[in-house]
Structure 1
Amino acid sequence: MIIPQLLKTNEIRVHIDNPFASDILGKGIFKILEECYEQKGEIIFLCIGTDRSTGDSLGPIVGNILMENPYIQGLSNIHIYGCLKEPVHAGNIEKVIEQLNNLRNKPFIIAIDASLGRIENIGTIKLGKGPLKPGAGVKKELPPVGSYHITGTVNFGGIMEYLILQNTRLYIVMQMSKIIADAIFKGLKLYFTL
């Protein structure tokens, strides 16, 4: 199996139908931590979205899965922001970002969110360098966040984005959520056991 070189391309893309999707993304997360995380301070997984929209629930579902993982629960420097019970969404994200910026040590943030894109990219998960721009798919102006980001293309964009998000198949969102959460688990386990 060929693992893309993250720093050469600054991004990894994988489709949910790829049986090695979580392995590929997990190795990408491991590579990010190995090369960019300075082993001081906290690692934050900022899971953005809302439980009120099927298409926009990707982040909170990933947050829930991560919070229920016993291995991740045991890592004192890993923190999950955003879940189904307490989502991080357009109405509170600026306050959350301000809280994160006020932490004593600057945290290493990986932001996770759903995205809209071209029809042929539906089902694609992207791990990329640089901040995530939440709300961009629905034309919202929100502050960018994260050193790296993970996005899942849950549906197509371009017209009536809110309606499209409301009518996104839950199956796609759940498959993406499981793959992303499993990749994060694999990446963390690889990093912290070496």
Structure 2
Amino acid sequence: MISPVTSFHLPEILQDVIPPNISCNKIIFVCIGTDRSTGDSLGPLVGSFLKKKGYRNVIGTINNLVHAKNLYEKLSEVPINKKVIVIDSMLGKVDSIGKFYVFNGGLKPGAGVGKELDAVGDYSISGVVNVGGFLSQQVLQYTELSLVLKMAEEITEAIEKRFPLPEWLKTSNEMNWRITS
């Protein structure tokens, strides 16, 4: 069983799991979740942060969500020659809250709340936002926003280290705080 990692180790795990020959221009980030549940907003927040930093290869932001109802439609937008890195929140054990899992392979979105969707992605990054088990939907709903925002920033920073953008594509830091446009 793979152990969760802290944000400190996240960049090195991305280096270990995703082969070095896979560069930023060979991937699409698919950020899954919704803005209607705090715990499930991790993916769209990461997508929004990445877009604000200049990443163009992102599907799924706060303003253009990827969720269970449109997942396969959104995945059809991915060019065949691109690798998909899926980013989503998950529920886990108490001692894993705030930590991350990185997998060589996809993940099954919504599995923690009883949805039965096919696994998607070539690689996946999951953040444990709360404890799983009893009343999963409500647990996601009442997850602390501050934790989810912190984790979204940590994933974004790790992605920036593993898949740096050329200087000419980067946006100014003055605009990075706004996620609503």
The change in CA–CA distance for 1:159 and 1:180 in structure 2 (over 3 A counts) is same
Match for 1:29 among 2, 5, 14? 14
- Per the normalisation by structure 2, the TM-score is 0.83
The change in CA–CA distance for 1:40 and 1:25 in structure 2 (over 3 A counts) is closer
- Per the normalisation by structure 1, the TM-score is 0.77
The change in CA–CA distance for 1:40 and 1:151 in structure 2 (over 3 A counts) is closer
- Equivalent residue for 2:69? 91
Query: Per-residue displacement from partner, 1:12-66 (whole Å, max 9, x unpaired)?
Result: 73235xxxx2xx322333341405x2x6973111100001110000000000100
Task: Quote the sequence identity (%).
Answer: 40
1:44-83 counterparts in 2 under 5 A? 44-70=28-54, 72-73=55-56, 79-83=57-61
| C-alpha distance in structure 1 between counterparts of 2:11 and 2:141, whole Å | 29
Amino acid corresponding to residue 108 of structure 2 in structure 1:
K
Q: CA RMSD in A?
A: 2.3
- Equivalent residue for 2:157? 182
Contact 1:94 1:142 in 2 (8 A): no
| C-alpha distance in structure 2 between counterparts of 1:135 and 1:43, whole Å | 23
- Equivalent residue for 1:117? 92
- Structure 1, unaligned stretches of length 5 or more? 1-8, 74-78
Contact 1:55 1:154 in 2 (8 A): yes
- Equivalent residue for 1:15? 6
Contact 1:130 1:149 in 2 (8 A): yes
| C-alpha distance in structure 1 between counterparts of 2:24 and 2:141, whole Å | 40
| CA positional deviation for 1:119 | 1.4
| C-alpha distance in structure 2 between counterparts of 1:182 and 1:12, whole Å | 21
| CA positional deviation for 1:68 | 0.5
- Structure 2, unaligned stretches of length 5 or more? 168-181
The change in CA–CA distance for 1:122 and 1:112 in structure 2 (over 3 A counts) is same
Please identify which structure carries the higher helix content: 1
Amino acid corresponding to residue 34 of structure 1 in structure 2:
P
Per the alignment, in what secondary structure is the counterpart of residue 49 of structure 1? Answer: coil
| CA positional deviation for 1:127 | 1.2
The change in CA–CA distance for 1:29 and 1:160 in structure 2 (over 3 A counts) is same
Contact 1:94 1:143 in 2 (8 A): no
The change in CA–CA distance for 1:34 and 1:67 in structure 2 (over 3 A counts) is same
Query: Per-residue displacement from partner, 1:105-136 (whole Å, max 9, x unpaired)?
Result: 33111100000011121111111111111000
Structure 1 runs (4+) deviating above 6 angstroms are none
Per the alignment, in what secondary structure is the counterpart of residue 99 of structure 1? Answer: coil
Contact 1:81 1:88 in 2 (8 A): yes
| C-alpha distance in structure 1 between counterparts of 2:3 and 2:91, whole Å | 17
Structure 1 residue 137 and structure 2 residue 112: aligned? yes
Match for 1:166 among 141, 150, 169? 141
